[in-house]
Amino acid sequence: MPVKRKTPSSKKRDGQAVAHPKTAPKPKAAPKPKAAPSLKTVVLDALDDMKALDVKFLDVRGLTDIADFMVIASGTSDRHVRSVAQRVVEKAKVAGFRPHGIEGQQDGDWVLIDLNEMIIHVMLPRVRDFYGLEKLWDMTVTKRAARA
């Protein structure tokens, strides 16, 4: 017959079990709150989720006062353009970024989403080629210095 041994944690004082100091459960540290994702991360993840094509992220600070960043992406069809834009809006709202405005959802050739510090253009490739927004707004450091 096995012998039952008393462990230090099973001692009783006044009818209540008392834990041994070495075996007492340690208090768990409070979980660290996750840092809120940046607007850039939210937008680029949403574009990637919907398989947007040829995504360009442009820093337009110093070129315009309307936004700090501009994102240009393409869709394969008008339905794809609308779906991509809708996903960006949904993900931005969930992350706490409310759009100022959304234009072009009816036609689906070019949808513009104004998220205050960032403007997102989702376009069909032919519309994107016609307007050439990258050429207008893509000002690398060398181009900025040459322009000044």
What are 147's two structure tokens? 């322009």
Number of residues written out for the chain:
148
Residues 41, 57 contacting (CB under 8 angstroms): no
- Of 102, 148, 110, the C-alpha closest to 132 is 110
- 77-126: pLDDT as tens digits: 999 999 999 999 999 999 999 999 999 999 889 999 999 899 999 999 99
Q: Which residues contact 20 (CB under 8 A, 6 or more apart)?
A: 7, 8, 9, 11
pLDDT at 63: 85
Mean pLDDT rounded to a whole number for the chain: 82
- 1-42: pLDDT as tens digits: 566 665 555 555 555 655 555 665 666 665 655 667 799 999
Residue 128 has phi, psi (to 5 degrees) of -65, -45
